[in-house]
Amino acid sequence: MKKLVAIALIAGVLPALAQQPAATPTHGPTARPTPRPQGASLADIVRRSQQQARREEKKKKKSLGVISNESLKSGEAKKRISTVDGKVSAPAGPTPPEEIVLKDNNGVTEQQWRDRAASLRRNVAQTRERVEHLESEAKRLENDFYAWSDGNYRDNVIKPSWDRAKEDLKNARADLDQAETALSNLDEEARKAGAPPGWIR
């Protein structure tokens, strides 16, 4: 009878104990190892950890070696070992930087300012030559007019040519004034546009 009571007590206590979760230590020497995923073998776990280690190793930067004065002199720093075939090859030269084009506040480049200044100077020089040529031509026709004794030839041939030369000279001098004014105003235009003075010299 006592045995039956003991068996009944044990049978009643065992299900209650089975329902309570067992306290497992989380640290220390008695800590339970992390359970591995169901269906994964030890070989699968090792393979995954090796693959992850390889990925992390690829992410790390590889050293190009030590650069010293001696290696720079000998050119060793310019050589690189290819990781694919192990051969030493010289890398391509550095990419040249893009040429910087300076502009003023209006977007006009230095070259455009230089071209404009050169064009204005050329125009002044050519107009001045034309004025000098017309001055000498007008002077020659004036001398011919007063030196020629034939009044008919003088009035019908020399006088119209002289009048034309004087009119051309007058127009050429006006053109020269305009060209010189444009050239002298170039400094002020460049200053207002924010162009350095050296761009128009």
Task: Retrieve residue 48's tokens.
Answer: 């995954």
Asked if residue 142 is part of any domain, the answer here is: yes
CA 83 to the chain's CA centroid? 32
Asked if residue 23 is part of any domain, the answer here is: no
- Other CB atoms within a 10 A radius of the CB of residue 97 amount to 6
Asked if residue 139 is part of any domain, the answer here is: yes
Asked if residue 157 is part of any domain, the answer here is: yes
The parent domain of residue 115 ranges over 110-191
Asked if residue 93 is part of any domain, the answer here is: no
Per residue in 150-175, pLDDT tens? 888 888 888 898 899 999 999 999 99
Asked if residue 67 is part of any domain, the answer here is: no
Asked if residue 76 is part of any domain, the answer here is: no
Per residue in 51-110, pLDDT tens? 888 887 776 655 556 677 766 665 544 555 445 555 555 555 565 566 777 777 778 888
Count structural domains, the chain: 1
With vertex at residue 91, the alpha carbon angle to CA 89 and CA 94, rounded to the nearest 5 degrees, is: 165
Cβ atoms of 165 and 134 closer than 8 Å: yes
